[in-house]
Amino acid sequence: MECPHQHQDILSHMLIYCDENGQYLAEHDIVNKILGLLIGSHETTSTVCTFVVKYLAELPQNIYENVYQEQMAIAKSKAPGELLNWDDIQKMKYSWNVACEVIRLNPPAQGAFREAINDFIFDGFSIPKGWKLYWSANSTHKNPEYFPEPEKFDPSRFEGTGPAPYTYVPFGGGPSMCPGKEYARMELLVFMHNLVKRFKCETLFPNGNVTYNPTPIPAKGLPVRLIPHRS
Ligand code: HEM
């Protein structure tokens, strides 16, 4: 059966999708997938935006200044009203290193489950085939063997070839790795561009506690003072 796919938003796409037997997706399936996408794509990325603002406001100002210089060089290369394009995103290397370090310290997804496909020994523990395992982004990202002084904010960790494979896993790894990673990178960099181009930020409750629900979030929210640049 021919499926009309002219509607491109994801909900329309799911509502009109039918398989070769003419079966449409069940309502609970659509609800599940939309909820999964809202949590997996919106919640994760908005969490990183929150922490980017917090860190840019609270870190030594040379970090903000370097991001600002990089973004202004791109902004100045554009004609009035011209939008960012993919090449501009590739130039935002320092800003992405800063975002990666924000994500290392505050991974929005804490980890996920895997199933052991073979018996193996890990750290003296015998793991039988078929066991469910939970990998944790937080503890992996704080391992001093791979990230010396793990609590220190240091975007230079991502210069060159960056962290060793599977030591930096905010987007998971292997065949189930997050398919939205590049989209998230673009969203975050566009956000950083538009933020620093216009404003400096100050947080009203600096260095406050962070709670988890399920993504990390500043316990008192993140009220900020946005200070427009003098033109
Ligand atoms: C900073 C933003 C994001 C983070 C930290 C993140 C993190 C993750 C993680 C840890 C996983 C599990 C990977 C694994 O098991 O190895 C995952 C899966 C997934 N993510 Fe993301 N994600 C982000 C943004 C997005 C966006 C923007 C989208 C969609 C537009 C998205 C869609 C998905 C989907 C559909 C899966 C399930 C993949 C599968 O099971 O095969 N994510 N994400």
Mean pLDDT over all residues of the chain? 94
Residue 100 is labelled as binding a ligand: no
Q: Is 138 a domain residue?
A: no
* CA nearest ligand 1 atom 43, residue: 178
Percent of the chain with pLDDT over 70: 97
Mean pLDDT over 140-150 rounds to 97
Asked whether the CA dihedral 119, 121, 125, 131 is positive or negative, the reply is negative
Q: Which of 14, 162, 30 is nearest to 96 (CA)?
A: 162
pLDDT tens digits, 30-76: 999 999 988 899 999 999 999 999 999 999 999 999 999 999 999 99
Ligand 1 center–CA 39 separation, angstroms: 9
pLDDT tens digits, 199-208: 999 999 998 9
* Ligand 1 contacts CB of residue 110 (under 6 A): no
Confidence grade of residue 1 (pLDDT, cut at 50, 70, 90): very low
* Ligand 1 contacts CB of residue 211 (under 6 A): no
Closest atom of ligand 1 relative to the 114 alpha carbon = 15
How far apart are the C-alpha atoms of 186 and 77, rounded to whole Å?
Answer: 19
Containing structural domain, residue 33: 10-106+151-228
Closest atom of ligand 1 relative to the 109 alpha carbon = 10
211 phi and psi, to 5 degrees? -115, 175
* Ligand 1 contacts CB of residue 102 (under 6 A): no
Q: Domain of 63: which CATH number?
A: 1.10.630.10
* CA nearest ligand 1 atom 37, residue: 178
20 or 6, which is more confident?
A: 20
For position 9, what pLDDT does the model report? 87
Q: Report yes or no: 189 and 89 within 8 Å, Cβ to Cβ.
A: yes
Q: Is 145 a domain residue?
A: no
Q: Is 88 a domain residue?
A: yes
Ligand 1 center–CA 157 separation, angstroms: 23
Question: What's the number of domains the chain is made of?
Answer: 1
Q: Is 196 a domain residue?
A: yes
Q: Is 158 a domain residue?
A: yes
For position 8, what pLDDT does the model report? 80
- Which residue's structure tokens are 């554009």? 78
**Probe ligand 1: pick from 14, 45, 171, max atoms within 8 Å of CB?**
171
Q: Is 132 a domain residue?
A: no
Q: Is 30 a domain residue?
A: yes
* Ligand 1 contacts CB of residue 44 (under 6 A): yes
For position 4, what pLDDT does the model report? 52
Instruction: With a cut of 90, say whether residue 214 has pLDDT above it.
Output: no
Q: Is 34 a domain residue?
A: yes
Ligand 1 center–CA 179 separation, angstroms: 6
Tokens matching residue 72:
């202004």
pLDDT tens digits, 104-136: 999 999 999 999 999 999 999 999 999 999 999
